[in-house]
Amino acid sequence: MFSTVKELIDICNTENKPIWQVMLEAEMEVSGRSEDQILEQMNRNLDIMEEAVNRGIHEDIKSHSGLTGGDAKKIRKYMEENRFLSGFTILDAVSKAVATNEVNSAMGTIVATPTAGSCGIVPGTLFAVAPKLNASRDQMVHFLFTAGAMGYIIANNAFISGATGGCQAEVGSATAMAASAIVEMAGGTPEQSADALSIAMKNLLGLVCDPIAGLVEVPCVKRNAMGAAIAMVAADMALAGIKSVIPADEVILAMYRIGCSMPNTLKETALGGLAATPTGRALETKIFGRPSE
């Protein structure tokens, strides 16, 4: 099994295999399960992701607190009116990321990728890039193995939850995972996947976890939207041949060290950042009757 991005890329190059295949074979070895069983489980995850995306862009979703819901539909309507500036595929990814996160905030069923707070970015970009590239269902499943391989390395060398490493660990990991998987689906090399990971993660370093009232809603949903957009642009930059000056494994360790030196008030405790703004505190009082501090 690989434990760093460098090891993973070396295996890909030596054995002439894409990242998804290395991850799949490692999973077979670790779990002792057959290729069919593992692919079936990942297909099931893909089904659940598709259901959440569809719910979010078609249904009227509203969270219990009333803080979030309905924004994915707004983006779809805006796209239909053909007024958008940033590009169809990016907005497609953004709307589908928001859709997934709105379903999550409303206690709907989602797949944690790598966590629930960051569950929009991987499926959001996947369900935008796959139609753009005419990807098959199998390729969509492969996308999840590639994203999973990168997430596996990040989780074991740093962290993936806001409570332990801030939002850079949560939305940052998901964005980096998505960026590298987009590159592979678009035909990039394993090195380009690693560059996309680095470019994406570097731009989310230091991001604090400061949810209003401690809910996985504000700013989480919009951070998933931006994570999807960053993943798309990072993938395009890597595919254009742009290298990351700092290698992927060093970016991941930088993320880890930043997370360790972040105060607890900025790690999902709702004690700092946006949660501690006057409006954040007022919303908290409105929802729970009292602020947490």
Partner 1 sequence: MKYQSVFDIIGPIMIGPSSSHTAGAARIGRLSRTLFGKEPVKAVITFYGSFAKTFKGHGTDVAIIGGILGFDTFDNRIVDSFAIAKDLGMEIEIKVSEEEVDHPNTARIKLFNHQYSFEVVGISIGGGKVEVVEVNGFKVRLTGEYPTLLVLHEDRFGMISAVSNTLSRFEINIGHMEVSRKARGKQSLMIIETDQIPSDDIKEEIERIPYVLNVSFISP
Question: Which spans of this chain sit near partner 1 (rule: CB under 8 A)?
Answer: 1, 3, 23-24, 26-27, 30-31, 38, 41-42, 44-45, 48, 63, 65, 103-117, 119, 122, 144-145, 147-149, 151-152, 155-156, 159-164, 177, 211, 213-217, 264, 267-271, 287-288, 292
Instruction: Tally the C-alpha atoms within 13 A of residue 88's C-alpha that lie toward its C-beta.
Output: 6
Task: Give the residue with the Cβ less far from partner 1, 91 or 101.
Answer: 101
Task: Give the residue with the Cβ less far from partner 1, 91 or 126.
Answer: 126
Task: Give the residue with the Cβ less far from partner 1, 215 or 229.
Answer: 215
Neighbours of 16 (CB within 10 A): 8
Nearest residue to 276 via CA among 254, 291, 288:
291
Neighbours of 13 (CB within 10 A): 12
Nearest distance in Å: CB 81, partner 1: 30
Nearest distance in Å: CB 64, partner 1: 8
Task: Give the residue with the Cβ less far from partner 1, 29 or 78.
Answer: 29
Nearest distance in Å: CB 267, partner 1: 7
Nearest distance in Å: CB 84, partner 1: 28
Task: Give the residue with the Cβ less far from partner 1, 214 or 247.
Answer: 214
Nearest distance in Å: CB 181, partner 1: 10
Nearest residue to 93 via CA among 76, 118, 68:
76
CB distance 285 to 214 below 8 Å? no
Mutual orientation of helices 35-58 and 19-31 as an angle, nearest 10°? 120
Mutual orientation of helices 71-80 and 88-105 as an angle, nearest 10°? 160
Q: Apex CA 193: angle with CA 57 and CA 187, to 5°?
A: 80
